[in-house]
Amino acid sequence: MSMRSVLRHSPAVRAALRTSRSVPAVQTVLRAPQAGAARAASRTFTSSANRAEEYESPFGVNSLAKFSDEEEMLRETVRRFAENEVKPRVEAMDEAEKMDPAIIKGLFEQGLMAIETDPELGGAGCSFMSAIIVIEELAKIDPSVSVLCDVHNTLVNTVLRKYANEELRQKYMPKLSSGMLGSFCLSEPASGSDAFAMKTSVKKSDDGKHYIINGSKMWITNSAEAEFFIVFAQGDPSKGYKGISAFAVTKDMGVEIAKKERKLGIRASSTCTVNFDEVKVPVENLIGEEGKGYKIAIEILNEGRVGIGAQMVGLAQGAFDRGMKYTFEREQFGKPISKFQGMQFQIAQVATEIEAARNMVYNAARRKEEGRTFTKEAAMAKLFSSQVAQRAAGLAIEWAGGQGFTREQGIEKYWRDSKIGAIYEGTSNIQLNTIFNLTAKEKGF
Ligand SMILES: Cc1cc2nc3c(=O)[nH]c(=O)nc-3n(C[C@H](O)[C@H](O)[C@H](O)COP(=O)(O)OP(=O)(O)OC[C@H]3O[C@@H](n4cnc5c(N)ncnc54)[C@H](O)[C@@H]3O)c2cc1C
């Protein structure tokens, strides 16, 4: 039986694909036995199964717009969650500079906070592309909600999934799948782009049972609501970046959430300073080996950048959709402003740039799934999609004229939110450094 018909016969999947306002949880959809079979089949054929056989290439090469049934279902589920649950709260959350707890609860209930996590640990067991799809869809409606979900999935969960031992995974991943929000603590006041110049220190207690962490982390996303923290700390400055280790830390170990930043954009996403004052972490909470923290951070941020690329593509699309709609509704000189070629060319240009950025993000995601190198592609995808997001959101404001400039329309928020794409998880200059270095190496220089 083809995967498509397997899924078509699943009541849970049929329910998920119905256009009703009800939002079935991802786990409900994916835990249907038929969907499980489909998932297994999909994995044997790299990451993407064949949703629509009619689009199968006779040459065995698929386009980037080809998704597994599972990925398509997930997109539909998230789209409905974003539309029904997130959209009505966006303006109030932005004004209050606070995430509505109902959103976080909803994301967990929908299974969107453990997308790649093993089903035995409470996750959906989906592909990396599935996480990218979720981040993109959420960002179309609210980039703040998108980054909350992105950091929790692509940074926090992935660090544990890839580098923690079985005991540590069992200890925390079920909680991180069901309600415990996570943060990723790398940056500090004096070490941003130069992240491995960190001052946060770690040493072993005299009895050897604990690590003791001291220092301050800055700019930590999700930290106001988080109970779990991946923390990077320096154990031996004489070893440079090779002295850095990563730890699984919970709030009740003594983590202090300090100043909350007041920001230009993604205002509902919390960004705080996090202090560690003699925080005692059990030795078994070391992630991987001592001295491997820098490697974990570098590898994980490569993946994370694809996530930020997806956030920026979703943001650009959200702004574009609103701005374009306005041009068909607003009349000047006796006709809709979309009838003017000056408007049409701008709309066409932005549509083209979004398409290019999306393909770059999907390409980086698929390369990662296929186990190929993707560092350069991830850096290019993040760099370009953050530039496109700024252009798209800026032009969408202009397309809506004075209305675009008001807060009520919700278009200007996309532009404010877009600025962060060029800053976090490596600034645009840092992406350019990476792209230059890898390109020069490829060319033999
Ligand atoms: C809203 C928000 C959320 C964040 N979330 C997190 C989080 O969850 N966890 C976390 O660990 N961090 C987080 N960060 C931190 C973020 O990753 C850093 O802000 C970023 O890496 C830049 O560091 P910086 O702010 O110290 O800027 P700097 O490193 O001081 O950079 C300032 C300027 O100098 C340029 N520059 C620096 N070095 C070079 C160079 N070698 N070549 C050329 N130009 C250079 C930069 O491109 C930039 O334009 C967040 C930041 C923000 C604003």
pLDDT digits (tens, 9 = 90+) for 160-210: 999 999 999 999 999 999 999 999 999 999 999 999 999 999 999 999 999
Mean pLDDT for the stretch of residues 32-44? 43
Q: Are residues 350 and 243 in the same domain?
A: no
In DSSP terms, 331 is beta-bridged to 336
Q: What is the pLDDT of residue 44?
A: 35
Q: Rg of the chain over CA atoms, in angstroms?
A: 22
For 55-64, 147-156, 173-182, 354-363, which range has the lowest pLDDT when averaged over its residues?
Answer: 55-64
Residue 56: the pLDDT is: 75
Q: Please say which residue of 292, 319, 336 terminates a domain.
A: 292
pLDDT above 70 as % of the chain: 88
- What's the domain range around 318? 295-442
| Closest ligand 1 atom, residue 191 Cα | 26
Is 328 found in the same domain as 357? Answer: yes
Asked if the model's pLDDT at residue 147 lies above 80, the reply is yes
Q: What is the mean pLDDT of residues 77-82?
A: 96
Which residue among 180, 195, 230 closes a domain?
180
Higher-confidence residue of 292 and 64: namely 292
What is the spatial distance between Cα 301 and Cα 241, in angstroms, rounded to a whole number?
A: 16
For residues 132 and 155, membership in a common domain is answered with yes
The whole-angstrom distance between residue 289's C-alpha and the CA centroid of its chain comes to: 26
Q: Are residues 356 and 426 in the same domain?
A: yes
Confidence of residue 278 (pLDDT cuts 50, 70, 90): very high
**What are 250's strand-pairing partners?**
228
Residues 278 and 309 in one domain: no
pLDDT at 136 over 60: yes
Q: Under a CB-based contact definition with an 8 Å cutoff, are residues 110 and 57 in contact?
A: no
Please give the mean pLDDT across all residues of the chain.
91
Q: Which two tokens stand for residue 73?
A: 């279902």
Distance of CA 62 to the CA centre of its chain: 25
Q: Which two tokens stand for residue 405?
A: 């400039």
List the structure tokens of 234: 């320096």
Q: Same structural domain for residues 309 and 400?
A: yes
In this structure, the answer to whether residues 300 and 335 fall within a common structural domain is yes
Examine the domain organization and report whether 167 and 221 are in the same domain. no
Domain of residue 110, CATH code: 1.10.540.10
Mutation probe of ligand 1 site: the residue of 199, 200, 427 with most atoms within 8 A of C-beta: 427
Into how many domains does the chain fold?
A: 3
Same domain, 132 and 197: no
Residue 27: per-residue pLDDT: 61
- Tell how far the Cα of 239 is from the centroid of ligand 1, in angstroms: 24
pTM of the full predicted structure? 0.91
Q: What is the pLDDT of residue 18?
A: 41
How far is Cα 175 from Cα 121, in angstroms, rounded to an integer?
9
> Does one domain contain both 277 and 372?
no
H or E element, residue 67: none
Ligand 1 centroid distance, CA of 426 (Å) = 6
Burial class (CB in 10 A: 0-12, 13-18, 19+), 136: buried
Q: Whose CA is nearest to atom 24 of ligand 1?
A: 192
193 C-alpha vs ligand 1 centroid, how far in Å?
5
Chain-centroid distance, C-alpha 362: 13
CATH code of the domain in which 384 resides = 1.20.140.10
- Tell me the CA distances in angstroms from 225 to 42, 88, 253, 263, one per residue in order: 36, 21, 16, 17
- In terms of Cα–Cα distance, which of 408, 419, 388 is closest to 264? 419
Residues 213 and 165 in one domain: no
pLDDT (0 to 100) of residue 19: 40
Tens of pLDDT along 57-74? 888 888 888 899 999 999
pLDDT of residue 65: 81
Which of 163, 180, 197 terminates a domain? The answer is 180
Q: What CATH code is carried by the domain that includes residue 271?
A: 2.40.110.10
Provide CB contacts within 8 A for 164, sequence distance 6+.
Answer: 172, 248, 287, 288
* Span of 38-47, 185-194, 226-235, 333-342 with lowest mean pLDDT: 38-47
Residues 309 and 412 in one domain: yes
> Tokens for 97?
């500079």
> Averaged over 104-112, what is the pLDDT?
97
